[in-house]
């Protein structure tokens, strides 16, 4: 029986169309049967036993470096293209460079890489697929960032917005790991006096409806002690004023800590941790958390723009014993493209092990969908602020690729 609907607000913006549906990284073989290996930009594979030792050279070394945001990734991949420009490895290197440039807001480099890739491999289907996602950024500049600097900024109660200055004008924007580019509404762009570019693109959102957008470039953005120049924003045709700071800003800041005591700490020094401590990784155009549920390693998309965590059909199929006695409901998933109602199962609780910390999702909503924008293509769900803020402090370090709830 369908009970009253509930709402999950989630402002995730995804660029790529994702189609692979699986719980964990696929292995290269099982019981003597040859299976396709994981895609080159599937960072989940690096959590498999022995993966580090198999990535000491060539494209696998470059792929692992890209997945874990290693500073040497670009030079490794460029070296492969230079030494073997017409090889399969070179094509894969172009694909990985596209991922790096997109998430870091390096749009001139992104288009340059696409053009070189297309010239070298004009008939490759993956090149044509990439054009669909990347061409909409043609003409945008590379974002320029100052060096990371430590700042402490305020926020209200459980809010995940951060104060900023845009071309000298104050604004308070949501700080969102699920947004692969920064976003603002048309009224906000007009308030700031931005020039909105002609043309449009489409980005995916949690509702599955997608959003049409235009673009504008902010010449100067200040976040605490850091300065960003030529920051590109997707401009959405909404009537209210709002803005979102996405992954290109997160990457430049590097180390971010949110506290329920009302502070953001930005740009702090990274802890010295061994590789075994890493629990986040890039998968295509997503940031994933490796966590444990009932002793099984699973992956979830990390989304500070989502109030609630939404588990999905992948979770229901992997953990049938946990969901079989749950109550059936309809749940509404809201994104910037609108609202979609989906069937769901609510269970009393699901425990997660995140590093040394155990957190419990109570109740846990298992929406019976596989929407790519909220984890359906790779993961058991979309990890929202109800998990990330449960202990009162959340820290994300993109230099060491460690997420902690403390």
Domain ranges of the chain: 6-12+270-405, 40-137, 144-254
The whole-number pLDDT of residue 335 equals 66
Q: Domain 6-12+270-405 is of which CATH architecture?
A: Beta Barrel (2.40)
The whole-number pLDDT of residue 82 equals 97
> In degrees, to the nearest 5, what angle opens at C-alpha 373 toward C-alphas 370 and 377?
45
What is the rounded distance in angstroms from the CA atom of residue 216 to the CA atom of residue 271?
36
The whole-number pLDDT of residue 33 equals 35
Say if residues 313 and 376 touch (Cβ distance below 8 Å): yes
Say if residues 216 and 182 touch (Cβ distance below 8 Å): no
What is the rounded distance in angstroms from the CA atom of residue 227 to the CA atom of residue 167?
11
In sequence order, what are the residues at sequence separation of 6 or more whose Cβ sits closer than 8 angstroms to the Cβ of residue 40? 59, 63, 92, 95, 96
The whole-number pLDDT of residue 171 equals 98
The whole-number pLDDT of residue 204 equals 65
Going by CATH, does the domain composed of 40-137 fall within 1.25.40? Answer: yes
Integer Rg of the chain from CA: 20
Which of 173, 388, 174 shows the shortest CA–CA distance to 302? 388
Other CB atoms within 10 A of residue 210 CB: 17
Do the domains spanning 40-137 and 144-254 agree at the CATH topology level? no
pTM: 0.89
Query: Which residue is associated with the tokens 């992956």?
Result: 299
The whole-number pLDDT of residue 333 equals 72
The whole-number pLDDT of residue 39 equals 94
Beta bridge partners of 343: 330
The whole-number pLDDT of residue 332 equals 76
> In degrees, to the nearest 5, what angle opens at C-alpha 136 toward C-alphas 130 and 108?
85
- Kindly give the confidence (pLDDT) of every residue in the chain, 406 residues in length, as a single tens digit, with 9 standing for 90 and above: 222 223 334 444 444 332 223 344 443 333 333 335 789 999 999 999 888 888 889 999 999 999 999 999 999 999 999 999 999 999 999 999 999 999 999 999 999 999 999 999 999 999 999 998 899 999 999 999 999 899 999 999 889 999 999 999 999 999 999 999 999 999 999 999 999 998 777 766 565 666 789 999 999 999 999 999 999 999 999 889 999 999 999 999 999 999 999 999 999 877 766 778 999 999 999 999 999 999 999 999 999 999 999 999 999 999 999 999 899 988 777 666 677 788 899 999 999 999 999 999 999 999 888 888 778 889 999 999 999 999 999 999 999 999 999 8
Going by CATH, does the domain composed of 144-254 fall within 2.40.70.10? Answer: yes
Say if residues 335 and 344 touch (Cβ distance below 8 Å): no
């Amino acid at each position: 029986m369908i009970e009253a609907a509930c709402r999950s607000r989630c402002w995730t913006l995804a660029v790529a169309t994702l189609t692979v549906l699986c719980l964990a990284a696929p292995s290269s073989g099982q019981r003597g049967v040859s299976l396709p290996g994981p895609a080159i930009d599937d960072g989940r594979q690096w959590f498999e036993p022995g993966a580090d030792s198999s990535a000491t050279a060539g494209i696998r070394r470059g792929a692992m470096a890209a997945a874990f945001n290693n500073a040497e990734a670009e030079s490794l991949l460029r070296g492969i293209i230079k030494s073997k420009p017409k090889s399969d490895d070179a094509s894969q290197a172009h694909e990985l460079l596209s991922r790096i440039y997109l998430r870091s807001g390096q749009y001139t480099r992104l288009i340059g890489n696409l053009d070189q890739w297309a010239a070298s491999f004009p008939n490759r289907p993956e090149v044509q697929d990439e054009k669909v996602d990347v061409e909409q950024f043609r003409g945008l500049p590379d974002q320029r960032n100052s060096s990371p600097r430590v700042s402490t900024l305020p926020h209200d109660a459980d809010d995940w917005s951060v104060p900023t200055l845009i071309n000298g004008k104050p604004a308070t924007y949501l700080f969102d790991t699920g947004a692969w580019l920064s976003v603002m509404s048309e009224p906000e762009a007009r308030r700031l006096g931005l020039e909105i570019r002609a043309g449009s693109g489409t980005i995916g959102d949690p509702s599955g409806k997608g959003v049409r957008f235009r673009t504008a470039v902010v010449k100067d953005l200040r976040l605490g002690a850091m300065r960003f120049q030529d920051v590109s924003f997707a401009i959405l045709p909404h009537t209210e004023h709002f803005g979102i700071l996405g992954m290109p800003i997160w990457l430049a800041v590097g180390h971010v800590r949110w506290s329920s005591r009302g502070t953001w700490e930005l740009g702090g020094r990274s802890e010295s941790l061994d590789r075994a401590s890493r629990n986040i990784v890039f998968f295509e155009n997503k940031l994933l958390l490796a966590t444990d549920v009932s002793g099984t390693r699973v992956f979830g998309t990390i989304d500070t723009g989502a109030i609630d965590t939404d588990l999905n059909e992948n979770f229901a199929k992997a953990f049938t014993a946990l969901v079989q006695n749950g109550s059936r409901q309809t749940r509404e998933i809201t994104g910037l493209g609108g609202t979609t109602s989906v069937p769901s199962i609510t269970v009393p609780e699901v425990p997660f092990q995140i590093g040394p910390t155990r957190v419990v999702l109570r109740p846990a909503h298992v929406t019976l969908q596989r929407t790519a924008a909220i984890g359906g293509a790779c993961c058991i769900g979309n990890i929202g602020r109800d998990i990330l803020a449960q202990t009162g402090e959340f820290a994300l370090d993109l230099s060491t690729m460690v997420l902690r709830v403390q």
